[in-house]
Amino acid sequence: MISNVRIAIGAPDMRSKLITEGKLVSYCIYFDVNKDVVKPESYGTLKGIADVLTENPHVKIKIIGHTDADGNDAANLDLSVRRAAAVKSELVKTFGIDAARIDTEGKGETQPVASNDTPSNKALNRRVEFVKQ
């Protein structure tokens, strides 16, 4: 007789959202303030995205960078463009994803998901989105 058994249902694989829902929003790709160099602690997330792209070789994506509202609007737009390009570059050079499968775009601070009134809300606005094309 077996007793004291628990069945756990795991959380859905966030990476599969890219394939099933067409969009994945990531808060786990990190950059220093006002920089466009992907920090090493981002590589787990990037590997997950690369794995999905490797398993689905026909899928093309757009990487969209977003910033919070601190600083100049034009500078934030430029920063978001450069950050999206940096993510693409890492997927291409580190994980071998074909660059032709990835477009990039920066939105700066133009599409906030939260008000920019607290540090935690600002952090929500600093994100990278992966959209299936």
According to CATH, the topology of domain 16-132 is 60s Ribosomal Protein L30; Chain: A; (3.30.1330)
Three-state DSSP class for residue 97: coil
Q: From the first residue on, what is the mean pLDDT of each consecutive set of 10 residues in the chain (133 residues)?
A: 57 73 94 96 95 95 97 97 98 98 98 96 96 97
Question: Token digits for 16?
Answer: 């599969």
Is the dihedral angle over the CA atoms 81, 43, 91, 38 positive or is it negative?
A: positive
Q: H-helix or E-strand containing 107?
A: strand 102-108
Q: What's this model's pTM, rounded to 2 decimal places?
A: 0.88
Order of strands across the sheet with 128-132? 23-26, 128-132, 61-66, 102-108
Kindly report, residue by residue over 40-72, the tens digit of the pLDDT: 999 999 999 999 999 999 999 999 999 999 999
5: tokens are 């058994």
Question: What residue ranges do the domains of the chain occupy?
Answer: 16-132
